[in-house]
Structure 1
Amino acid sequence: MVAELATRPQNIETLQNAGVMSLLRPLLLDVVPTIQQTAALALGRLANYNDDLAEAVVKGDILPQLVYSLAEQNRFYKKAAAFVLRAVGKHSPQLAQAIVDCGALDTLVICLEDFDPGVKEAAAWALGYIARHNAELSQAVVDAGAVPLLVLCIQEPEIALKRIAASALSDISKHSPELAQTVVDAGAIAHLAQMILNPDAKLKRQVLSALSQVAKHSVDLAEMVVEAEIFPVVLTCLKDKDEYVKKNASTLIREIAKHTPELSQLIVNAGGVAAVIDCLGSCKGNIRLPGIMMLGYVAAHSENLAMAVIISKGVPQLSVCLSEEPEDHIKAAAAWALGQIGRHTPEHARAVAVTNTLPVLLSLYMSAESSEDLQVKSKKAIKNILQKCTYLPALEPFLYDAPPNILKHVVGQFSKVLPHDSKARRLFVTSGGLKKVQEIKAEPGSLLQEYINSINNCYPEEIVSKLFPKIQIYALLGDLREILDQKRSNKYYSPGYSDTLLQRVDSYQPLTN
C-alpha cells in the first residue's frame, strides 16, 4: 500500500508525516522476499521525490542494509535496491558521496555482470547518477571498474540496457579529458558509432550525447570520434523526427568543429554546414542553439570556412534566429555567430550587412530589456562587422541611430571608403550623410574628429564650409526653390548651382593627410 501511495506526489507529505521511513526499514529484513522487495520499492519512490526524503534514507542507516542485500538477494530485490541507491544519489553530490562511502560502488559493478538485464540496467542507472555530479565521483565509479562492463552493456541486445549504459558512459566522460580517455580506452567509441543509425530515438539521443562528451575535451579525443567514421552518417540525425536527436547531433558536430580549422573543414566537406543550416530551419528554441554555435565556431577559424557558411546560406538563417527567437541566450549565440562570419573581410561583412542584420543587432544592443550577455555580444558583433564593412548603404542608417561608441566605427569606415570611391562620395552628399557627419559633435583631437576631417577632405571647401550653412546638403539635387527665391543675388544660390557643386564633387581630388 505504501509503495502504491508513493507513486502519487500528493501523498508524499502525508506518508512522510506518518513516519513511514522508520516503518519500512525493518521490512528490508523481512523473511518474506516480496515484502523486502516492496519495502525497497517504496523507499526508492519516496527518496526519488525530493532530497529531504533521500537524506532521511541516509540518516536512517538504510544504505548499508541495501548494499548488503544487493549482493545476497534475488534479482527482484537487486533491482529494487539499485533503484533506491539511484533515487538517493541523483539529488546532490553529498548524497551520492554517502552511497560511495557505504561501499555501494563495488556491489553495483558486480551487478553489471548479472545474468538478468534488468539488474544490469538498474545498476548502470545508479552508477550514471552518481558519476554525473562531479569528476571525483565519476573517478570513483571508474576506479570501481565500471567502464569496461558498461561498454559490454551497450553491446547487449536489450534496447533499454543499451540506453542506460550509453547514458552512464556520457555522464562519466563529461567531466575531464582523463575520464573521457578512460571511456575511449575501453573501446566505447566504435560501439557507440555503430548505433548512430539505430531506429530507437532514445538510444540515439544517449549515443550522440556520449560521443559529444568525449569529443568536447581535446583535439585528440575529437579526432578519435571522427575516425570512428561518424560522418556523413551523423548528418542523417539532423533530419530525425525526434527533436532531441537533432539537438544532440548538432551538439556533437559543434564539439568537433570548435577545435581546429582542419576538423571544421572535414565537416564542411562532408556537407555538415549545409545540413546544420537546414536543421535550423526545421526547429525552434533551444534545439537550435548548438547548431547556431557550430556555425559560429566554423566561421571563426578562417576566411574560407566563414565563406563556406555564407555560400550555404547560413547568414539569412542566423538572421531569422536572431529576429524570431524569444530567448535572449539564443539571440546572443546568433549575434556572436554573425559577428564571427562578418569579421574577416569586406566581402564577409557585406554578406551579413545585406541581410539587414545590423539594425537588428543595434536595437538588441540598445534595448533595456536585453540581457547583459545579449548586449555585450550584439555590441561585439556590430563592432566586428563594421570594422570590415565597406557596403555604405548598410552603414548610413547608423549615422542617425548609433550611440557614440558605435558611431565612431561607422564614421571610421566612411573615412576609409570615400577617398577612393567617387560614386560613393556623390551619393553620400545627396543622401544627407555628409550633412549628418557635419552635425556630429566630436572632441578636438579625438579619433572621431580625425575620421570627420578625413571625410571633409574628400569634398570641395564650399560643400563643407561654414559659409554655407543655410543649404541643407541633402537638398542639393532637390527642392532649392524656396531658398533660390530668397537669395537670388548670392552666387551660392544661383540657378543650377547644386548641379555645379555635384560636378565639382565628381571631379574633386580628395586631400590626403
Structure 2
Amino acid sequence: MALLRPLLLDNVPSIQQSAALALGRLANYSDELAEAVVSNEILPQLVYSLSEQNRFYKKAAAYVLRSVAKHSPHLAKAVVNSGALDALVNCLEEFDPSVKEAAALALSCIAKHNHELAQAVVDAGAVGLLVLCVQEPELTLKRISATALGEIAKHTEELAQAVVDQGAVPYLAALISHPDAQLKRYVCQCLAQIAKHTVDLAEVVVEAEIFPRILNCLKDMDVQVRKNAATCIREIAKQTTELAKLIVHSGGAAATVDYISESKGNARLPGIMTLGYISAFDDSLAMAVIVSKGIAPLKDALINEPEDHLKAAAAWSLGQIGRHSPDHAKFLAEADVPSRLLAVYMLPESSKDLKDKSKKSLKNIIQMCTHLPALEPLLQLAPNNILTYVCAQFAKVLPSNLEAKRTFVQSGGFQ
C-alpha cells in the first residue's frame, strides 16, 4: 500500500492508472484492506485527481472509492469525508459514458448504507444527474443509475420524495417494458423503493401508468424481474383500498395468483403478501381474490413451503380472505383451510410467529364460518383454546338452523 501511493503521482499516466486500479482491487477484496487505503490517506489524493486527470484515471479513481465505500457505513463515511461526493457528481457530467458509470456506481455504494449517507449524496446534487443518466442510450449506465436512485429512495420518505421531485418516475416507468432483464430488475426495484413509503408516493408511481404493463413482468423469463415486479405491486397494494382496487381492475389479482402458482421459495413471498393486503381492505376485494382462484396457491404455500416465514405469510393472507363474511369463510372451509391451519398451529417445530398467525387466521375463519360440516373435524382435533371458538360457532348456528341440527346429529357431532 505504501509503495503504491507514490505511484499515483507518477509522471507516466498509465502508471498512475495501474496504481489506482491495483488499490481498487485490494480495497475491493476485504474491509481490512479498504481500511488500509483510508489509513494511508490515499483517498484525498484520489479525489484531487478525479477533477484533474484524464477519463481513464477518473474511472480507476472512482473504482477505488466504490471499492472502499461498499464495505460498511464507516468506510463510506470516510469516502464522503475525503470530499469525494462533489468530484463524483462532477463525473456524472463527463462526456464519456464509462466515467459516468464508474461515478454512479460509487455514489450507489455510498448511498446504500443509511439515510445520512444517502442524504449526503442528495445534497451533493447527484439525483438530477442520475435521472439524466437513466435517459442516456448506454444500457449499463441506465442500469447503474436506476440502482443508485433505488439505493437513495429506499431509506426514508424524504429521500424518495427527492428522487420523485427530480422527475425520475416517468423515465423509470417507461423502462418497465424494456427488453433487457437486468434493467427491468433495477427499475422495478427502484419503483418499489419509492412506492413503499406513503400513499402519495405510491400514487405517483401508479400515475406513471405502470399498470397493466408491470403485470407482464410477472411472466418474465428472469426470476428476479418477476420477484421485483411482485414486490413493487405489493408496496402499492398495501397503501389504500383505491390502489388495491386499481390493481384488481387491471387484472393484478389473477396475475399475482398465477405468479405464486408458478414460483417456489422466497420468490413467492411478495405475491402472497399482495393477496393478503388486497383482501384485508374489504369484502369485495377479498372475493375478487377468491374468484381469481387465490386460495389454492396460498394453501399450497402453507402446506408445502419448508420455511416458516412463508407459511406464516400464507396463513396471514388466508385469514385476511376469510374474516369478512360467512360466504368468504365457506370458500376457505370447503378448501379444507381450517384443518390445514390447525395442523400447522399444532406442529411442535412451528415458530412462534407461525403459530400466532395460524391461530389468529383460524379464529377469524371459524368466527365467520356457518358451514358447520367443515368445522366438525376440528371438534376432534383442536386443543381447548381453539375448541372454544368452534363450540361457540356451533352454539350460534345450530339453534336457528334445522338442517344443520339434523346433519350434526347424524354425523356423530355429539360424540
- Which deviations, in whole Å up to 9, do the C-alpha atoms of 1:33-60 show, x marking residues without a partner? 2222122222222222222221121112
Q: Does 1:432 align with 2:412?
A: yes
Q: Please point out which of 102, 124, 131 is paired with 2:82.
A: 102
- Which deviations, in whole Å up to 9, do the C-alpha atoms of 1:397-441 show, x marking residues without a partner? 111111111111111111111111122212222322212xxxxxx
TM-superposed CA distance for 1:132, in Å, is 1.0
- Alignment map for 1:255-404 (pairs within 5 Å): 255-404=235-384
Higher RCO (C-alpha under 8 Å, 6+ residues apart): 2
- Alignment map for 1:168-179 (pairs within 5 Å): 168-179=148-159
Q: Report the counterpart of residue 137 of structure 2 in structure 1.
A: 157
TM-superposed CA distance for 1:329, in Å, is 1.1
1:159, 1:66 → 2: CA distance?
A: 27
Q: Which deviates the most, 365-374 or 147-156?
A: 365-374
TM-superposed CA distance for 1:72, in Å, is 1.2
1:52, 1:330 → 2: CA distance?
A: 37
Q: Report the counterpart of residue 46 of structure 1 in structure 2.
A: 26
1:365, 1:423 → 2: CA distance?
A: 31
Q: Report the counterpart of residue 217 of structure 1 in structure 2.
A: 197
2:18, 2:352 → 1: CA distance?
A: 52
Q: Please point out which of 109, 115, 126 is paired with 1:146.
A: 126
Letter in structure 2 aligned against 1:331: K
1:384, 1:103 → 2: CA distance?
A: 57
Q: Report the counterpart of residue 70 of structure 2 in structure 1.
A: 90
Letter in structure 1 aligned against 2:136: E
- Which deviations, in whole Å up to 9, do the C-alpha atoms of 1:226-281 show, x marking residues without a partner? 11111111111111000111011111111111111011101111111101111111
Q: Report the counterpart of residue 233 of structure 1 in structure 2.
A: 213
Q: Report the counterpart of residue 115 of structure 2 in structure 1.
A: 135
1:220, 1:135 → 2: CA distance?
A: 20
1:323, 1:38 → 2: CA distance?
A: 56
* 2:177 aligned counterpart, secondary structure: coil
Q: Where do 5+ consecutive residues of structure 2 fail to align?
A: none
Q: Does 1:206 align with 2:186?
A: yes
TM-superposed CA distance for 1:25, in Å, is 2.0
* 1:231 aligned counterpart, secondary structure: coil
Q: Please point out which of 2, 5, 9 is paired with 1:29.
A: 9
- Alignment map for 1:398-477 (pairs within 5 Å): 398-435=378-415
Letter in structure 1 aligned against 2:271: G
Letter in structure 1 aligned against 2:278: V
Q: Please point out which of 44, 60, 78 is paired with 1:64.
A: 44
TM-score (norm 1): 0.79
Q: Which deviates the most, 285-294 or 388-397?
A: 388-397
TM-superposed CA distance for 1:361, in Å, is 1.4
2:364, 2:26 → 1: CA distance?
A: 54
Q: Does 1:191 align with 2:165?
A: no
Question: Taking every aligned residue pair, what percent have the same amino acid on both sides?
Answer: 66
* 1:161 aligned counterpart, secondary structure: helix
Say if 1:25 and 1:372 are closer, same or farther in 2 by CA, change over 3 A: farther
1:241, 1:382 → 2: CA distance?
A: 37
* 2:51 aligned counterpart, secondary structure: helix
The ranges of structure 1 where at least 4 consecutive aligned residues each deviate by more than 6 angstroms after the TM superposition are none
RMSD: 1.1
1:376, 1:24 → 2: CA distance?
A: 58
2:95, 2:162 → 1: CA distance?
A: 25
1:401, 1:310 → 2: CA distance?
A: 27
1:69, 1:221 → 2: CA distance?
A: 39
TM-superposed CA distance for 1:83, in Å, is 1.1
Letter in structure 1 aligned against 2:87: T
- Which deviations, in whole Å up to 9, do the C-alpha atoms of 1:468-512 show, x marking residues without a partner? xxxxxxxxxxxxxxxxxxxxxxxxxxxxxxxxxxxxxxxxxxxxx
Q: Which deviates the most, 103-112 or 59-68?
A: 59-68
1:396, 1:36 → 2: CA distance?
A: 80
TM-score (norm 2): 0.98
* 1:195 aligned counterpart, secondary structure: helix
TM-superposed CA distance for 1:140, in Å, is 0.4
Letter in structure 1 aligned against 2:311: K
2:331, 2:23 → 1: CA distance?
A: 61
Q: Report the counterpart of residue 446 of structure 1 in structure 2.
A: none
TM-superposed CA distance for 1:22, in Å, is 2.5
TM-superposed CA distance for 1:377, in Å, is 1.2
* 2:350 aligned counterpart, secondary structure: coil
TM-superposed CA distance for 1:74, in Å, is 1.3
2:363, 2:256 → 1: CA distance?
A: 26
Q: Please point out which of 108, 111, 116 is paired with 2:91.
A: 111
1:362, 1:46 → 2: CA distance?
A: 55
1:377, 1:50 → 2: CA distance?
A: 41
Larger Rg: 1
TM-superposed CA distance for 1:141, in Å, is 0.3
Equivalences, count:
415
1:131, 1:28 → 2: CA distance?
A: 27
1:351, 1:58 → 2: CA distance?
A: 62
Q: Which deviates the most, 136-145 or 382-391?
A: 382-391
Q: Where do 5+ consecutive residues of structure 1 fail to align?
A: 1-20, 436-513
Q: Report the counterpart of residue 457 of structure 1 in structure 2.
A: none
